[in-house]
């Protein structure tokens, strides 16, 4: 059921349609939609900031509004959101992205607090550099601005990631799967790093 995460009516309808198709709440809700609209804070257009918040956070809020009460009524549910190392600290020229990633962590912790007694967990992944289209697009943009290659920029990215390589999508997926299993029941309200040792917290 495809939908644009920036269209809040559409994402709300996806949540309703999913529950209707199943005849109950989905067991799992993973929010991994994200965009980066970066630039100096003084020059960042308000619509770019608002779009980042809408896609990266508000869409998760809208879906959780629909699904979390249904999960709670059924006595079981798993919510996983994807934050960023920028959920933990701020970096120059990333006001929209950093604000949204702080917000998604806060929202997830509130969901964890509200629904823990009904068997619903909510956690945020805190990835470092993961081998995704978005990271490679950021590397391409930086390479074009600096007259260098994507590979050189990625090498610079990885200076803060002691693992020495990007985290794979499959590794992130395996962590999501664990959190969404029965074994993940006692883990809720957490920001869980998967960052190759970049930030010890």
Catalytic positions, written as ranges: 97
Give whole-number Cα distances, 98 to 27, 40, 49, 58, 102, in Å: 29, 12, 10, 14, 6
Contact 4, 10 (CB under 8 A): yes
CA 59 remoteness from chain centre: 11
Contact 159, 193 (CB under 8 A): no
Cα dihedral 35→124→176→2 (10° resolution): -40
């Amino acid at each position: 059921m495809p939908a644009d995460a920036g269209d809040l009516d559409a994402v709300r309808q996806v949540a309703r349609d999913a529950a209707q198709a199943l005849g109950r709440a989905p067991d799992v809700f993973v929010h991994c939609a994200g965009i980066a609209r970066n630039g100096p804070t003084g020059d960042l257009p308000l619509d770019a900031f608002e779009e980042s918040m809408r896609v990266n956070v508000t869409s998760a809020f809208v879906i959780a509004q629909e699904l979390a009460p249904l999960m709670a009524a059924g006595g079981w549910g798993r919510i996983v959101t994807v934050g960023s190392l920028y959920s933990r600290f701020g970096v120059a020229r990333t006001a929209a992205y950093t604000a949204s990633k702080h917000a998604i962590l806060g929202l997830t912790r509130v969901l964890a607090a509200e629904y823990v007694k009904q068997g619903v967990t909510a956690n945020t992944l805190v990835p470092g550099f993961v081998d995704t289209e978005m990271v490679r697009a950021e590397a391409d943009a930086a390479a074009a601005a600096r007259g260098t290659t994507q590979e050189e920029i990625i090498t610079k990215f990885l200076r803060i990631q002691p693992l020495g390589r990007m985290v794979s999508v499959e590794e992130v997926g395996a962590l999501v799967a664990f959190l969404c299993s029965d074994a993940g029941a006692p883990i809720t309200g957490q920001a869980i790093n998967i960052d190759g040792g970049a930030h010890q917290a």
